[in-house]
Chain A
Amino acid sequence: MTAAQKTPAAGLVPKVPVISARGIDMVFLKKQPGRLDPWLRKFGLPVAEPLGVHALDGVDIDVMKGEVVGLVGESGCGKSTLGRVIAGILDPTAGTFRFQGRAYDEMPPQERYRARVAVQMIFQDPFASLNPRKRVFEIIGEAPLVHGLVSKDKLEDYVDEMMLKCGIDPAYKQRFPHQFSGGQRQRIGIARALAVKPQFLVCDESVAALDVSIQAQIINLFMDLRRDFDLTYLFISHDLGVVEHIADRVVIMYLGRVVETAPTEALFDTPRHPYTQALLANMPRISTGKQAFGQIIGEIPSPLHPPTGCHFHPRCPFATERCRAERPMLRPTGPNSQAACHLIEETP
């Protein structure tokens, strides 16, 4: 494993990768192959080529045990797709994916089943991710019962405990989701994920839909749970402030590729990739002076027709001829840091 060669930034982070993905590709076909296509081909008629969106393009990611990795990018960069691949909701088109050092297809069925349960996901929309016809007790209690983590007679106490841990009054367990506010619903979603005793949580924009004061409560809850349950997080967000606060290491994505990864301090102090620099410069911060916005030009290109070479070159102020032609690979730029840019000197 390449992960073993890396030196951790702080002594706090152990070296066991919980999740390790190599060369993950995810292609969504816009047009499904038609049933008549073989016939059309047989008679030499034109066949519409399926048009693919390369949502993930050779993504490598390692998440160490106990680490919080922040995954940042703008809409359409593939961060949610990567989260879903890691959570096992989507199967990648290509690439290898390992949970605690073992690929899913190498595992015996029983072990694979346990590995899937060990990775849980918390979604963005607390309104859409809870079944409106089920009571909180069923929402939280169903999965641990099915997976045999708790017996039926102890289920009541178990659900109460989970609700308390997540800051919901167990007296409300016979209520329906619509009787709760957004922040409380997000807590129910977290309790549901925790009820199956996961090791790894994928949080996909889990605080984006909440008000600032409620967002702070949920972020604090995530940090408490990390300590209490020894959890590892992949924290997906477009909000750099949230990621800066919670993450140990940050991965920046642009149009399906990882462009930079570094420990949080290093990334925010000395961003190496021009895209990361632009993101940080444009991030609204609480300050008393007026901020100069808008140093980056252009739109995010369509993932249907990504630019050649480095995907960022049409918006990059430093782009050269080489950037237009050749894809930069992730190269080490410092301890535990990598960036994909032709203009950055390699510092192993």
Chain B
Amino acid sequence: MTETKVSGAAPTLVVEGLKTHFFTEAGVVKSVDGVDLCVDRGEILGLVGESGSGKSVTGFSLLGLIDPPGRIVAGSVRLNGEELTTASEKRLRDLRGNRIAMIFQDPMMTLNPVLKIETQMVETLLAHARMSRADARAKARDALGRVGIPSPEERLDAYPHQFSGGMRQRVAIAIALLHSPDLIIADEPTTALDVTIQAQILAEVQTLCRETGTALIWITHDLAIISGLADRVAVMYAGRIVETGSIAEVVSGPRHPYTHGLIGSVPSRNQRGHRLTQIPGMTPSFLALPPGCAFAPRCPRASAACTAMPELAGEGHAVRCFHPMNQPQGVPA
């Protein structure tokens, strides 16, 4: 429990060629179209993309939470070597909340408004472990204390509406941590929170991952959060990963024109008062994706070659582009 990071050990999660498509009346929406991910024990992976890039659907797919008309059509998701895409619903129920947990953007989505916090936490504990109610309550109290909720003993008897937004999100995180899962998927958990509260939660999450060795996938649209929090980052565009690498590599030398544009769009003091680099156009509709590289119509470097689909190429710092940017550009450290 106390060891920090195990290098060389098998990764906690390996995703290969994951494809999640939605079969709607208007056509097939390829929300996730060939995603490869790999997360080590205790590692924080940032999954960055704009709305409609397929980042949340990727998160839901890992947990097998895709409802019709959506379906995982190809690929494999292996948690500690166990295949999840073909696992039975019963096995998935055993894993969810136990070995994999999810934190959502809106904590009211995870918390039942008519049940006390204690009831909800004890329920989660007893679903996956044999213990007495008193033990479960004690464990729940400790979990609340660990995420920085003051007077956890009294707060167990409170209802979700009696908490502020930040505190509710802490409760949701405490519930996610109850069984010390191997993997937590956090889908924009601090987007709705204020700066100081967000910082408190990011600090808790950093410490908890380091201490418990839990792997974390942090899904967000905010590159600034990821750059301060994660070890590695994967940038998604139109259902595919377009660039992946360590934070330092990607932020200081983005190779994909989209990543480069994304970093340039973030207002920061280096370009105060100047025009922000803007990516022309908008995210394409999944129903009308251009052939080949989906970013080509918005890309300043696009050529005739871009009508074919580039592969994600490169060791460590990989990029899916025929005309990658070579010289490191972007924000100085």
Residues of A bordering B, CB below 8 Å: 74-75, 181, 183, 211-217, 219-220, 223, 238, 240-242, 244-246, 264, 268, 278-279, 281-297, 299-300
Q: Which of A181, A283, A293, A295 contacts B282 (CB 8 A)?
A: A181
Check if A213 sits within 8 Å of B269, measured CB to CB.
no
Q: Which residue of A215, A285, A294 is within 8 Å of B265 (Cβ)?
A: A215
With contacts A213-B279, A220-B276, A244-B272 taken as known, whether A293 is within 8 angstroms of B221 at the C-beta atoms is no
* B262 cross-chain contacts in A, Cβ below 8 A: 212-213
Q: Does B313 belong to the interface (CB within 8 Å)?
A: no
Distance between A15 CB and nearest chain B CB, rounded to angstroms? 21
The answer to whether residues A294 and B267 also contact, given A211-B283, A245-B272 and a CB cut-off of 8 A, is: no
Q: Apart from A286-B263, A299-B166, what are 13 other A-B pairs with CB-CB below 8 Å?
A: A75-B194, A211-B283, A212-B265, A213-B279, A213-B282, A244-B269, A245-B273, A284-B202, A286-B251, A287-B227, A287-B228, A289-B248, A290-B228
Q: In the complex, which residues of chain A have a beta carbon less than 8 angstroms from the beta carbon of B206? A: 290, 293
* B265 with A244: CB separation less than 8 A: no
Residues of B within 8 A of A283 (CB): 195
Between A213, A220, A295, A300, the greatest number of chain B beta carbons within 10 A of the residue's beta carbon is seen for A213
A264 to B272, CA, bound (A): 10
Q: A291 contacts which chain B residues (CB < 8 A)?
A: 227-229
B240-269 residues at the A interface, CB under 8 angstroms: 247-248, 251-252, 261-269
Task: Report if B50 contacts A (CB, 8 A).
Answer: yes
Enumerate chain B residues within 8 angstroms of A300, measured Cβ to Cβ. 164, 194, 196-197
A297 to B203, CA, bound (A): 11
Q: Which B residues from 201 to 248 make CB contacts under 8 A with A?
A: 201-204, 206, 221-225, 227-229, 247-248
The 3 closest A-B pairs by CB, nearest first: A294-B203, A291-B228, A245-B267
- Given known pairs A217-B278, A220-B275, A284-B227, the reply for A240 and B195 (CB within 8 Å) is yes
Choose among B196, B200, B227, B275 the residue with the greatest number of A CB atoms under 10 Å from its CB. Answer: B196
Which A residues are CB-close (under 8 A) to B331?
286-288
- Establish whether residues B268 and A286, one from each chain, have CB atoms under 8 Å apart when the complex forms: yes
For A217, the closest partner residue in chain B by CB is: B278
A281 CA to B276 CA, complexed, in Å: 23
B24 is an interface residue with CB less than 8 A from chain A = no
Inter-chain CA distance A75–B229, complex, in Å, is 23
- How far apart sit A295 and B198, CA to CA, in the bound complex (Å)? 11
- Say if the beta carbon of B112 comes within 8 Å of chain A: no
The smallest C-beta distance from A178 to any residue of chain B, in angstroms, reads 15
Write the nearest CB–CB distance from A82 to chain B, whole angstroms. Answer: 17
Contacts of B261 in A (CB 8 A): 213
Residues of A within 8 A of B225 (CB): 284
Shortest Cβ distance from A343 into chain B, in angstroms?
Answer: 19
| Among B198, B199, B248, B268, contact of A245 (Cβ-Cβ < 8 Å) | B268
Residues in chain A near residue B248, CB distance under 8 A: 288-289
Q: Is B303 an interface residue (CB 8 A)?
A: no
Is A285's CB under 8 angstroms from B268's CB? yes
- Do B272 and A282 touch across chains, with their CB atoms under 8 A apart? no
Q: How far is the CA of A281 from the CA of B247 in the complex (A)?
A: 20
Considering only CB atoms and an 8 Å cut-off, how many residues of chain B contact the other chain? Answer: 52
Q: Which residue of A lies closest to B165 (CB)?
A: A75
Pair A216/B279 contact, Cβ less than 8 Å:
yes
A-B contact pairs, 10 of them (CB 8 A): A214-B50, A216-B265, A245-B269, A279-B195, A284-B228, A286-B263, A287-B333, A293-B199, A293-B200, A296-B196
Docked pose: A283 CA to B330 CA in angstroms? 19
B224 touches A285 (CB 8 A): yes
Q: Does B167 contact A (CB under 8 A)?
A: yes
- Checking B165, B198, B221, B279 against A282 with a beta-carbon cut-off of 8 angstroms, the contacting residue is B198
Shortest distance in angstroms between A297's beta carbon and chain B's nearest beta carbon?
8
B198 and A241 contact, CB distance less than 8 A: no
- With an 8 A cutoff between CB atoms, is B86 at the interface? no
Give every chain A residue within 8 A of B252 (Cβ-Cβ). Answer: 288
- Enumerate chain A residues within 8 angstroms of B229, measured Cβ to Cβ: 290-291, 293
**A288 B268 Cβ-Cβ under 8 A:** no
Which residues from chain B contact A212 at a C-beta distance below 8 Å? Answer: 50, 221-223, 262, 265-266
Contacts of B272 in A (CB 8 A): 244-245, 264
Which residue from chain A places its CB closest to the CB of B207 in the assembled complex? A294
Judged by a CB distance under 8 angstroms, whether B4 is at the interface is: no
User: Which of A216, A264, A286 is B277 in contact with, Cβ under 8 Å?
Assistant: A216
Residue of B nearest to A290 (CB): B228
A215 / chain B contacts, CB cutoff of 8 Å: 265
Establish whether residues A268 and B279, one from each chain, have CB atoms under 8 Å apart when the complex forms: no
Q: How far is the CA of A244 from the CA of B274 in the complex (A)?
A: 11
Which residue on chain A has the smallest CB distance to residue B227?
A: A286
Given contacts A211-B50, A212-B265, A245-B268, contact A288 B194 (CB under 8 A): no
Judge whether B196 and A74 touch: CB under 8 Å. Answer: yes
| A157–B39 CA distance with the chains assembled, in angstroms | 57
Asked if B224 contacts A241 (CB within 8 A), the reply is yes
Q: Hey, which chain B residues are within 8 Å of A241, CB to CB? A: 224, 266-268
CB atoms of B251 and A299 under 8 A apart: no
The distance from the CB of B219 to the nearest CB of chain A, in whole angstroms, is 14
- Closest chain A residue, CB of each to CB of B195: A282
Residues B194 and A293 in contact, CB atoms below 8 Å apart: no
User: Smallest CB–CB gap between B203 and chain A, Å?
Assistant: 3
Q: What are the residues of chain A within 8 A of B197 when measuring CB–CB?
A: 74, 299-300
Q: Does B51 contact A (CB under 8 A)?
A: yes
> In chain B, what residue has the closest Cβ to A76?
B194
Give the Cβ gap from A168 to chain B, nearest Cβ, in Å: 13
Instruction: List the A side residues contacting B307 at CB < 8 Å.
Output: none
